Amino acid sequence: MGRGTFRSQNKVGETMSFQTDSSSATTFDPTVTFLPGLSDRVSWDLGDGSGYVADSSLSYSYDDTGTTKTVTLRTNKLSNLYGGTFVSDNIVGNLNMTGWDNLGGNFYIYSNSGLTGITHTTSTQTFSNYRVNNCNLIGNHDMSMFPNLGGLFLTYNNFDLTGITHTASTQVFSQYRADSCNLIGNHDMSMFPNLGGRFQVNNNANLNSITHTASTQVFNIYYAKFCNLIGNHDMSMFPNLGGEFWLYNNANLTGITHTASTQVFTNYWVYGTGLIGNHDMSMFPNLGGSFYMSTNPSLTSITHTASTQTFSQYYVFDNNLIGNHDMSMLPGLGGDFHIHTNTNLTSITHTASTQVINDYYAFNCDLTGNHDMSMFPNLGGDFRIYNNANLTGITHTASTQVYTNYWATSCDLTGNHDMSMLTGLGSFIELNSNTNLTSVTFPMSTGTFRNTVPSGWVFDKDSFGMDSCNLDGSTNFFTLSGITMDVNSTYGATILLTNNNMLQSEVDGYLIDFSAITSNNITRWSGVTLNIGGSNAAPSGAGLAAVAYLTGVTTQWTITTS
């Protein structure tokens, strides 16, 4: 039967009623579907006095500004109805569906911000989609009457939803999302042996635990971040975990138990937790991508196994790693490597990697002895290894990558520090407070050097900072003749050679060298600020002549001496 109008006195069939506050500014367009192979007539009383409209779907605009109307659906048998779409139909209050004992297939009722609950009855039909996300479900949502729930189950963004009750189902889940709700206590998923695909229960601040059962399905997303998981989180029943694994910001999470999986990981993020002791990752031979395990103050070590995957990020800073951190099995290390602020970390073992390294941060640790970087031919970017009081040397290999920073202050670099193979050096080099550093071998570079903060800040970053070292006269600045000292940058360009206990002849030698470099490169070296004072001897003779030239009208250096 086509679209038409029934007389209001027509009483044939079964009905269900619900409320909507749809207005003239919205479209009210619910749809119902029948069991496969069946059809039936359906009509709707829209609750505004316009009578019944006949069809399984409709598109209607009310004339009012959003008053609450009672809509009545009429059909011969509610049992013949199978699925329905009630998306953005401004349904309010509780939706009573107890007559739908064959509900299944696709049930879409999402984006109804006034919907507070749904009452179901038992149905053995198989679900492909059950979507009630972006509503206002309150309290517990009872799904215990659906033994064939599966496919996509989405209840996310129901901020007052405190629980979901399920019954056993062997159907395969490709998505299960109950994120950004208010799930409280334990969320029981032990009845789903085919859970997989995308699983999200993140952003449930009162969720303390999740109970799973064994599933061989592949997981490409597992999110339980920003919850309150307590104690150990058992994942040992998932042999195909991979993709994106996010369990971060669970301050009371003390451990995670995994089982072997050969799936590729693109993200593994477990930061901001209470993990204790060793975190075992030895069962993941395809770990890679973005690995983020920072700010776990009781985490003392991480165990890896060999993986040839490429890493774009490896973040394990602000933990309590102790002793050696072994990365010798990860030849795809690259991108950003941040292992800083592990005050008991004494060494890092790397293996050769041809990946480009943009950031290498190992500051605020206790690296001891020589730190070997000779396996990274594409090291560059921002290199920070400062505040390692027992670090006596750094071994590099040739790299043409551009450096934006090279910062190795407050260590114990001893003797000569060889940087001759880093031809892309630029921005600034900070080697201050290495009291046993006697010389530096610079590369042939054409980079641009500048200060990055103003003088007097807690962390001065001079173009060349070698304050409070033990420089003798053997450092050759002539290899830097081709660089540009960017004195027109915001904070200028500075060379800091103070407090090196240099003899007068050594001071004179450096002043003469700077004079010669500048005279041959006026456009790139004029206007530099040099401080060679402090515990160094005062210049004399040729040194004073060099000062006179450098501070003259042509070169315009600013020089401080003892």
User: Are 437 and 461 in contact, with CB atoms under 8 Å apart?
Assistant: no
State the burial class of residue 259 (Cβ atoms within 10 Å of its Cβ: 0-12, 13-18, 19+): middle
Q: Residue 344 contacts by C-beta under 8 Å, 6 or more apart in sequence?
A: 300, 320, 321, 322, 323, 366
Q: Can you give the pLDDT at residue 256? A: 98
pLDDT, one tens digit for every residue, the chain (562 residues): 333 444 433 445 899 999 999 999 999 999 999 999 988 999 999 999 998 999 999 999 999 999 999 999 999 999 999 999 999 999 999 999 999 999 999 999 999 999 999 999 999 999 999 999 999 999 999 999 999 999 999 999 999 999 999 999 999 999 999 999 999 999 999 999 999 999 999 999 999 999 999 999 999 999 999 999 999 999 999 999 999 999 999 999 999 999 999 999 999 999 999 999 999 999 999 999 999 999 999 999 999 999 999 999 999 999 999 999 999 999 999 999 999 999 999 999 999 999 999 999 999 999 999 999 999 999 999 999 999 999 999 999 999 999 999 999 999 999 999 999 999 999 999 999 999 999 999 999 999 999 988 777 766 789 999 999 999 999 999 999 999 999 999 999 999 999 999 999 999 999 999 999 999 999 999 999 999 999 999 999 999 999 999 999 999 999 999 9
User: Are 21 and 114 in contact, with CB atoms under 8 Å apart?
Assistant: yes
Pairing of strands 42-45, 52-54: antiparallel
Backbone angles phi, psi at 546, to 5 degrees: -65, -40
User: Are 304 and 330 in contact, with CB atoms under 8 Å apart?
Assistant: yes
The domains of the chain are located at 172-309, 402-562
User: Are 343 and 321 in contact, with CB atoms under 8 Å apart?
Assistant: no
State the burial class of residue 285 (Cβ atoms within 10 Å of its Cβ: 0-12, 13-18, 19+): middle
User: Are 274 and 249 in contact, with CB atoms under 8 Å apart?
Assistant: no
Q: Can you give the pLDDT at residue 12? A: 57
Residue 513 and residue 481: Cα distance in Å, rounded?
10
Measured torsion, CA atoms of residues 510, 513, 517, 518, in degrees rounded to the nearest 10: 60
Residue 481 and residue 525: Cα distance in Å, rounded?
9
Q: What is the pTM of this model?
A: 0.94
CA 521 to chain centre: 45
For residue 5, which amino acid is it?
T
Write the DSSP assignment of 75-134 as a string of letters. ES-GGGEEEEE-TTS-EEEEEE-TT-TT--EEEE--S-TEEEEEE-----PPEEEEE--S
Q: At what angle do helices 542-550 and 504-520 cross, to 10 degrees?
A: 40
Angle at 145 between CA 140 and CA 151, to 5 degrees: 90
Measured torsion, CA atoms of residues 135, 137, 143, 145, in degrees rounded to the nearest 10: -100
Residue 525 and residue 270: Cα distance in Å, rounded?
48
User: Are 225 and 200 in contact, with CB atoms under 8 Å apart?
Assistant: no
Q: Can you give the pLDDT at residue 203? A: 98
Distances 52 to 5, 21, 57 between C-alpha atoms, Å: 5, 18, 13
| Residue 248: count of CB within 10 angstroms of its CB | 22
Q: Can you give the pLDDT at residue 461? A: 84
User: Are 426 and 404 in contact, with CB atoms under 8 Å apart?
Assistant: yes
User: Are 224 and 202 in contact, with CB atoms under 8 Å apart?
Assistant: yes
Angle at 152 between CA 146 and CA 153, to 5 degrees: 55
Q: Can you give the pLDDT at residue 70? A: 98
Strand partners, 315: 292, 338
